[in-house]
Amino acid sequence: MKTATPRPAVRGFLDWMRVECGASARTLEAYGADLRLYATRLSGTPPERATPEDVLDFVAGEAARGMSPATQARRLVTVRAFHRWLHAEGVADTDPGALVDGPTLWNRIPKYLTPGEVSCLLAPDAGDDPYVLRAQALLELLYGCGLRATECTSLRTEHVHFDESTLRVRGKGGKDRVVPFGRAAATALHAWLDEGRAAFAPAGGDDPGTVLLSVRGRTLTRQDVWNAVRKRADARGIGRGKLSPHTLRHSFATHLLTGGADLRVVQTLLGHASVSTTQVYTRIEEDRMRAAHARFHPRA
């Protein structure tokens, strides 16, 4: 297990919220304030060693300070999200927040694009400009393969197997998985690797070996991924509030399940350690069934 200290752990979580989830500046400010209070209440205990009692003590302390029920609920949501992230990142062995009753961010249905919006977003631009080729390859990795932003940035050229149409992806906790890719992704990856990547590759043997490179020949950052997705979304008229790199991963999973894929298969493709994490996507289909029942059944 990794060792964390409160301040770096909080910074890492807020960076994830900003880049992966597209949290607004106001949301990040509120989360940061809540977690600084929580770190103070831990009194030096590393966050990965916190217990459910620590979480309950924090909320009880906020009540004792006269905080409103709404503020208490919001701060509990923040702490639970923080601990869930620590656990998912492999920093903590347990998730103490999961054992504390209260509202949670994680039961919300993930945002996703419709198939039509995906077709609009992923329609390739004409030409062989390296930026265009890189953006297309990136989008196909996010949606066509369901990768996380960090998995896209760390994917290495030797882990792209065109003969088998698979990628070897290093996921959370250092776990590898094999992810297949289709014709559209193969076309985009071939074009980038064969025609575009050399324009950004550094001279002198300092190539980092990752599939995607910055214009300076370095490994892309998660912020680079975010910017590329937003740029394409703006160009195609897809709303900013609906789209982030993770939205494409959510769309990948949602479209597989609504198309009839087995939940366990989707779990494996996403690299989820537990099927319970993947089950959040089934709520989308459940809501559709309830809406159809309410609309069409004579005794609804």
The CATH number of the domain holding residue 181 is 1.10.443.10
Same domain, 193 and 220: yes
Same domain, 103 and 123: no
Q: Which of 88, 107, 126 is the C-terminal boundary of a domain?
A: 107
Same domain, 86 and 131: no
Given a cut of 70, the residues of the chain with pLDDT beneath it are 1-6, 101-109, 173, 240-242, 276, 283-293, 297, 299-300
Asked if 214 and 134 touch (Cβ cutoff 8 Å), the reply is: no
Q: Which of 107, 124, 157 is the C-terminal boundary of a domain?
A: 107
Question: Is 222 one of the annotated active-site residues of the chain?
Answer: no
- The tens digit of pLDDT for each residue in 69-83 reads 778 888 888 999 999
Name the amino acid, one letter, at 187: T
Judged by DSSP in three states, 170 sits in strand
Q: Which of 86, 107, 128 is the C-terminal boundary of a domain?
A: 107
Name the amino acid, one letter, at 290: R
Kindly report the average pLDDT of the chain as a whole number.
85
Same domain, 123 and 271: yes
In angstroms, what CA-CA distances link 255 with 26, 83, 118, 276?
31, 29, 10, 18
Domain assignment of residue 297, yes or no: no
Question: Is 246 one of the annotated active-site residues of the chain?
Answer: yes
Same domain, 29 and 68: yes
Asked if 278 and 271 touch (Cβ cutoff 8 Å), the reply is: no
Q: List the catalytic residue out of 84, 148, 197, 250.
A: 148
Q: Encoding tokens for residue 20?
A: 């992966």
Residues 6+ apart with CB under 8 A from 182: 144, 165
Beta strands in the chain, from DSSP E residues, in sequence order: 160-161, 166-170, 176-180
Same domain, 91 and 176: no
**What is the percent of the chain where pLDDT is above 90?**
44
Question: Is 272 one of the annotated active-site residues of the chain?
Answer: yes
The structure tokens 């089934």 sit at 282
Question: Is 75 one of the annotated active-site residues of the chain?
Answer: no
Domain assignment of residue 293, yes or no: no
Calpha distance 124→122 (Å, rounded): 6
Q: List the catalytic residue out of 159, 246, 250, 255.
A: 246
Determine the structural domain holding residue 93 and report its residue range.
6-107
